[in-house]
Amino acid sequence: MRRVNQFRPGAMHLAKQIRGAKPSNWSTTHGRIAAPNLATSGQSQFWESKRGARDAPARQQQACQLWRQESLMNNGNGNHHTAISLPGFEGVLTLPGQPFPAAPEGDRLEGIIRMLLTEIGVDVNSEHFRETPARVATFYREFTRGYKTNPAAILKTFRAKSSSLVVVSHIDFFSLCPHHLLVYGGKVHFAYVPDQQIVGVSKIPRLVHALARRPVVQEALAADIADAFMSVVKPLGCAVKAIGHHDCVAARGVRCPSAVMTTVVTRGIFQEKEALCREFDRAVAEAQKCTR
């Protein structure tokens, strides 16, 4: 009879006396599996099979069943998940198809971010990362508010007989690249020709900011701004020019910080009259001289 002094780092307490076992025989070829029984107050059990490697899948399933800790942890939404604790792993492993575990504070998004940081090797208990999950959760909630945007609630209209070109330019915006979830931003220039209805000048920047607060490609963002305005205000036409700098291009991949992306979307009368588009461009250029 030999005493096993070590089994795995951080799990020495799991070892017990193994009858007739030799250190050289501890291998998967002979199919010896060791696992803690978390369901029985941490008592250790060992399985020793002499049937060979052909029984490995069944033994692994037995081990997983023994490791399974039926811990019903509320994730803040009334849902539950099954947690598995493994030797040498201090966190919670969620089974495929199960909801993610909640953060200690009950914030599910914060818990997911904490798991992500842990997975890439970050010590989330260190001074600089202790509050990072909460900060990142706040960031993502701020940058996804656009999903709850109601353009009709933003674009309050007023009756007016004017049909002159209206241009609101140099609107700063920030959004999320849906491919890498990196921030990109720039400026939006907007123009429209009223048809008996106008909007307050502040409403156009509000619309741009609201629709930008979500993961969306720049092409779709410009189109969504134009389509929302056309749907609610019903002008004779509108035009949107978005100019953006993308961190997913500047900081990774091709690594080209100087690249600038411009998207132009026209609706209604702007698609019929090229002179309106030229007037729009001139107005933007003139406004550039006045920007602070």
273 and 170 housed in the same domain: yes
Across the chain, what does the average pLDDT equal? 75
Indicate whether 84 belongs to any domain: no
Say if 284 falls within a structural domain. yes
One domain for residues 105 and 208 = no
13-34 pLDDT per residue, tens: 333 333 444 444 333 334 333 4
Indicate if 176 and 233 belong to the same structural domain.
yes
Flag whether pLDDT at 277 surpasses 70. yes
Tell me what the mean pLDDT of segment 267-274 comes to: 97
Question: Domain range spanning residue 217?
Answer: 154-290
pLDDT digits (tens, 9 = 90+) for 78-91: 333 334 343 443 44
State phi, psi for 184 to the nearest 5 degrees: -135, 160
Q: Looking at the domain assignment, is residue 229 inside a domain?
A: yes
User: Taking the model in full, what pTM does it have?
Assistant: 0.64
- Number of domains comprising the chain: 3
> Is a pLDDT exceeding 50 seen at residue 275?
yes
Residues 197 and 260 in one domain: yes
**Is 32 found in the same domain as 126?**
no
